[in-house]
Amino acid sequence: MKLLIATIFKEFLQLVRNRVLLFLVSACPIILLGVIPLSFDGSTRFRAGVCDMDGSYESQKMLGELSNSRLFESVFYFGSMWEAEREMDRGSLDLIVCFAPGGVQIVLDGTFPRRALSSLYSTEKILFLSDDVPVVFQTLFNAGRRYNHFSLISLIVLVITLIGTALVTLNLVKERESGLEEQLRATTINRFVYFSGKFIFFVLLCLFEIILCLLFCKLVYGLENQGSFAGYLIVNMVFLFPLLGIGFVIASYSNTQLRAVYILTIVLILLIMLSSMFTHLSSMPQWAAATRFVNPVYYGIESSRMVIFKGASALDIAPLLGWMLLLGLFLNSLAFFRFRKA
């Protein structure tokens, strides 16, 4: 027990004495959570070009509606369709509305289909002022539709994923590369203590990061936790189990830091992009959606969202937690047995 505490304390000292690293570790969540939510403020705006060849009363009225609408970032006027399409070729217009004598014609930039479709519907809605469809939309959970709240949860998981795996992997490989591990082998510290000492230290560090993140979200964005705080911490502790496991496995397979970084980069990019952080499972092909069973980042995001937004209890997300534990058990024991051999 004394040995375990000593190894944890060693890691702690190593981190604290490295100023730059300490700065990066504590500033990373603040920078990410402070800046990245600015990338999406919830409203979608388009750049429209208008070409009025009709000049009638109706077209003037519609034109007025268009330029008054807050949907458009800017509305440009063109004398002819040719000029407008030339401008679209340069990439500065999302859609062109043309009032021809025969009727309205809309030309859209189709490179991003969903954006094109949504701009089409919104424009039609404005042009024809239609409210005859009796549909009302209501949002449950996160009822204010606060966009930054939504992205904050996945950002916290992103922070933990990056910091956790990078620290664990490079810490282990660095000790091996610099010969420190060789020296530790000559002490009374055995594999198990060495391994679990590191594990406990990084779990504590990541939990500290999570609390820092949550505090930041609470103070700056007023994020409200629908579930219990303790529940969120427990979920994240379970999440850290497979996540750090990935770091350990990568470390056990790489002899130099360079190689560790190569493997880490490709693994992390795949895990993050295949999780539901940027897209959602239903839009993926079957085989890609199936990778979620071995993707801890997916579990982390899903369970955090469940707890924070939907106030789910531990029972509701028991399957997720169970999978995470299984995955963590597998990864960590794989790393542990490979370490023994080394």
Which residues 127-146 are close enough to bind another protein by CB under 8 A? Answer: 127-128, 130, 133-143, 145
Span interacting with another protein, options 210-218, 240-248, 273-281, 329-337, rule CB under 8 A: 273-281
Q: Let me know the angle formed at the C-alpha of 19 by 16 and 22, rounded to the nearest 5 degrees.
A: 60
CB of 146 to another protein, least distance (A): 8
CB 245 within 8 A of CB 327: yes
Question: Could you tell me the two tokens for 276?
Answer: 């539901």
Binding status of residue 264 toward another protein by CB under 8 A: yes
φ/ψ (deg, to 5) at 47:
-105, 115
Cα dihedral 22/23/28/34 (nearest 10): 140
Q: Which of 16, 180, 215, 266 binds another protein (CB under 8 A)?
A: 266
Conformational region of residue 178, where left means phi above 0, alpha means psi within -120 to 50, and beta covers everything else: alpha
40 touching another protein, by CB under 8 A:
yes
Min CB(92)–another protein separation in Å: 10
CA distance 178 to 103: 75
Lookup: tokens for 127: 């042009």
Residues 85-114 that bind another protein (CB under 8 A): 85, 88-91, 94, 103-114
**Which listed residue (270, 318, 325, 329) binds another protein by CB under 8 A?**
270
Residue 96 pairs in a beta bridge with: 49, 107
Q: Does 125 bind another protein (CB under 8 A)?
A: yes
Q: Which of 166, 212, 238, 246 binds another protein (CB under 8 A)?
A: 166
The CA–CA distances, whole Å, from 51 to 83, 240, 293 equal 9, 56, 52
Among 56, 67, 80, 118, binds another protein (CB under 8 A): 118
Q: How far is the CB of 237 from another protein (least distance, A)?
A: 21
Q: Using the rule CB under 8 A, is 147 a contact of another protein?
A: yes
Listed ranges 187-195, 200-208, 213-221, 274-282: which one lies at the site for another protein (CB under 8 A):
274-282
Cα–Cα dist 200/206, whole Å: 10
Could you give the C-alpha distances from 225 to 218, 246, 298, 312, in angstroms and in order? 9, 29, 20, 11
Which of 135/219 has CB closer to another protein? Answer: 135
Minimum CB separation of residue 305 from another protein in Å reads 5
**What are residue 301's phi and psi, to 5 degrees?**
-65, -45
Q: Of 54 and 94, which has the nearer Cβ to another protein?
A: 94
How far does the chain reach from its first CA to its final CA, in angstroms?
24
C-alpha to C-alpha distance for 70 and 269, rounded to whole angstroms: 37
Q: Which of residues 303-322 bind another protein (CB under 8 A)?
A: 305-306, 308-310, 312, 316
Binding-site residue total for another protein (CB under 8 A)?
Answer: 104
* Interface positions, 211-250, toward another protein (CB under 8 A): none
Q: Which of 36, 66, 189, 203 binds another protein (CB under 8 A)?
A: 36
Letters for 44-83 (x = contact with another protein by CB under 8 A, - = none) are: xxxx-------------------------x----------
